[in-house]
Amino acid sequence: MERAVGVCTSFGSPHQSVEASIASDCRRAEGCLFCDKFRVHADRRDTRKLLSCRYCIEQTAHLAESEEQFNRLFGPIFERIKIILAEIERRQPGIVAPIEHEIQAGELDPFWARKWKC
């Protein structure tokens, strides 16, 4: 099943795959990142999803009470995305940087573009 940050192989049956302060949760995109049912393809589409997610979260940093609070809440998500992107880059060298530039220019994944406009 298509998800905001990748693909789910068993929606509705989350199971924690990584030790983190974020629980696996099918109702929240960031919960997918820590589930053993979560998958991504080393392609432009899934890379754009991950980078768009990270971008949208980064753009909300000013809403946090402090940098420490923001890092406590979102640090695990950023770290997980970083690990996944590193693996994508390992499998498809050169794929991440161009998409990262496109994201900075406003070319978000459609799901995240809609979220960002809300």
Alpha-carbon dihedral of residues 40, 82, 56, 105, nearest 10 degrees? -90
pLDDT (mean) for 37-66: 92
Nearest one of 79, 86, 84, 74 to 28, comparing CA atoms: 74
Q: What are 70's two structure tokens?
A: 């923001």
Domain residue extents for the chain: 7-117
pLDDT (0 to 100) of residue 83: 94
The mean pLDDT value for 52-74 works out to 90
The pLDDT value recorded for residue 35 is 85
The model's pTM is: 0.89
Question: With pLDDT > 70 as the criterion, what percentage of the chain qualifies?
Answer: 98
The neighbour count for residue 94, using CB atoms within 10 Å, is 7
Q: Please give the average per-residue pLDDT across 95-113, as a whole number.
A: 96
**pLDDT recorded at residue 29:** 80
Burial class (CB in 10 A: 0-12, 13-18, 19+), 116: middle
